Structure 1
Amino acid sequence: MKQISFKSYESTDFESVHVSDLINRLHDPTENLEEEFRYFIGRGQGLTPTGDDILVGILYGHFINSFIAQKHLETLGNLIRKPLTTLVSTRFLTCAIEGLFSSKITRLQHDPSLKSMKSLIKVGSSSGMDTLYGIYMALTKE
């Protein structure tokens, strides 16, 4: 993933400091992260807004190396039942909470090649890149 540049996110609502803050708090069940989740859910343009795609990527990182407290998975699940984002994103997030991801995402676990990453990046106008950014941020958390 070090061959992919995520610098374009630094001038957006999803700069690495903001995403890292969420990720670093997800392990602590004493935290209340509803407001942070609401910041991401539905934020951005398109059929699957950027914030939703980043959350899907973070969830995939969690299912590779578990770090999200059950309480936060439940909070996210409750929030996506509300009309905060698109129907398509709601479905993708629901599946991601259950550990179900598209083959372009799961392929990365078995084939983390640049070719597989580029295949994911090609999904949607920015969805693949947004998801890869979420995965990267989750897997490189401190």
Structure 2
Amino acid sequence: MTSQEVSDNLAMLVSVLLTEPRITGLHIDIESFLVTYLEKGTFVDSVGQHIEKLLTVLDTSGAAAIETELRYLLGRGKGLTPSGDDHLVGLLAIHAATGVVSETFIETIKLLLQSESLTTDIGKEYLLYAIQGKFSSSVVGLSSALTQKPDIYMLKPLLLELLDMGHSSGIDTIFGMLLGLLARRRKLE
């Protein structure tokens, strides 16, 4: 994907999300997050600060910094698959299509999941599958569309289908995909 294609897909994703405003399970208002992030503002809440740091370490080989941000997200939030885990699943879905995270990131998350109990059993399973590039059909459909050249009419039904998953799992996974696209855009620029 070119930088322009990533920017176009981000714009389409954001335009649909703004017509279906939702708050993530970690209480992130996506519009506010984007405004702060894109304008290089300062996040006043710790969740925003950690998400911003996560975006800076995704494609690095700094295992310690990656581990710090993963420890913050893994298991964070409520539900069978905590919101932080869902963010990571969405991010890994974009990674499967674009290679946006480093091998160190993959190895660090795998090591943490296999050696410690940082999340729920279901969250752990989803993440272990995500590391292997295996996702639900809803996640595959949307991540494929977001990493190709969709039109808004194709993207919106895929997005709405995923939004309906769980209490907040859908929006949390979509937020992770948004993070993956932001990271991809930064990498290409």
Q: TM-score, normalised by structure 1?
A: 0.89
Aligned to 1:127: 169
Structure 1 gaps of 5+ residues are none
In the other structure, the counterpart of 2:124 is: 90
Aligned-partner SS, 1:4:
helix
**CA RMSD between the two structures:** 2.0
Residues 110 and 131 in structure 2, CA contact (< 8 A), matched pair in contact too:
yes
2:155 maps to: 113
Residues 1:56 and 2:89 are matched in the alignment: yes
**3-state SS in 2 of match to 1:51:** helix
Deviant stretches of 4+, over 6 Å = none
* Alignment match of 1:37 (pick from 48, 70, 80): 70
Of 68-77 and 91-100, more deviation after overlay is shown by 68-77
Contact persistence 1:54–1:132 (CA under 8 A) = yes
Answer whether contact 1:14 1:51 (CA < 8 A) is retained. Answer: no
The answer for the alignment partner of 1:27 in structure 2 is: 59
Change in Cα spacing, 1:80 to 1:101, as seen in structure 2 (3 Å) is same
Encode CA deviations 1:85-120: one digit per residue, 9 max, x unaligned.
Answer: 111100000000011111001111146511110100
Identical pairs, percent: 33
2:98 counterpart of 1:65? yes
Mind listing any 5+ residue stretches in structure 2 that lack a counterpart? 1-12, 33-44
CA distance in 2, matches of 1:67, 1:107: 18
- When normalised by structure 2's length, the TM-score is 0.68
